[in-house]
Amino acid sequence: MCAMPKIKICGVTNAEDALLAERLGADFIGIIFAQKSPRTVGIAAAKNITAALKTAKTIGVFVEQTHKETAEIAAACGLWGVQHYTYFSQGFADAQYIYAMRLGAPESAAVPQDFSLKFSLTGADYVLIDSYDEKQHGGTGKVFDWAEIPSALPRARLFLAGGLNADNIGAAAGENVFALDLSSGVEARPGHKDPEKLKQLFINFKDAIAQLHDKDTVP
């Protein structure tokens, strides 16, 4: 039986977009702190987004920051989770640690070979799998072959990212992962969400979940 995945809307830069995503059904709101991203925000803006939300949890996305810097920002902004493209052997005291792995990226070679089997017992609480692009971390709009997801990674702890949108959200919903992560697929332009794309996304997602449920209940 397929569990219903959660939805993370990433690259949010303002409270208005965050509240719309939450109202439509988003479970997580991703806030970018990576310095080179066109979707990056400052601490004040991140605090405003977090304070505006009622049910959705915020996840900060980091690239260049050290473990200490990341922990300080997470605490200051009240983040539920930290998504970092660096593998740390220790987690974070006050936030969930989501290790972001880009399949085929040079940095993924530095991850211990037994990471897939032991990550939940060491530093990371979750893993995010994304497509690889030489020029940017996330928000690439590129879909990778989901069959390449390492089989040893427990799906119940996996965020699936990379080119997700309203057209392929139905197929992604059947991958039986913890959460689906969307950014550029629901944007009007970098950092600004498209209300119609968001609405269509959740319509298609709910339809797909209903169809999966019907399949599971057929005797």
Q: Report the CATH number that the domain containing residue 21 is assigned in CATH.
A: 3.20.20.70
pLDDT in tens, the chain (219 residues): 457 899 999 999 999 999 999 999 999 999 999 999 999 999 999 999 999 999 999 999 999 999 999 999 999 999 999 999 888 878 898 999 998 887 755 555 545 455 554 554 456 789 898 876 655 555 566 777 888 887 777 788 899 999 999 999 999 999 999 999 999 999 999 999 999 999 999 999 999 999 987 766 545
> From CA 114, how far away is CA 76, in angstroms rounded?
33
Tell me whether residue 41 is in a domain.
yes
Contact criterion met (CB below 8 Å) for 189 and 208: no
Tell me whether residue 143 is in a domain.
yes
Tell me whether residue 156 is in a domain.
yes
Q: Which amino acid is at 43?
A: I
Total structural domains in the chain? 1
Look up the domain containing 134 and give its range.
Answer: 6-217
Angstrom CA distances, 154 to 115, 126, 201, stand at 11, 9, 26
Tell me whether residue 17 is in a domain.
yes
DSSP state of 90: S
Tell me whether residue 1 is in a domain.
no
Closest of 99, 96, 131, 132 to residue 115, by C-alpha = 99
Tell me whether residue 64 is in a domain.
yes
Please identify which residue in the block is written with the tokens 């392929």.
168
Closest of 19, 63, 15, 14 to residue 37, by C-alpha = 63
Closest of 33, 27, 28, 30 to residue 11, by C-alpha = 30
Tell me whether residue 48 is in a domain.
yes
Closest of 42, 25, 23 to residue 33, by C-alpha = 42
Three-state DSSP at 32 gives strand
Buried b (16+ CB within 10 A) or exposed e, 140-150: beebbeeeebe
Q: Is the entire prediction scored with pTM above 0.85?
A: yes
DSSP state of 142: -
Angstrom CA distances, 200 to 55, 172, 180, 185, stand at 21, 15, 15, 11
Tell me whether residue 159 is in a domain.
yes
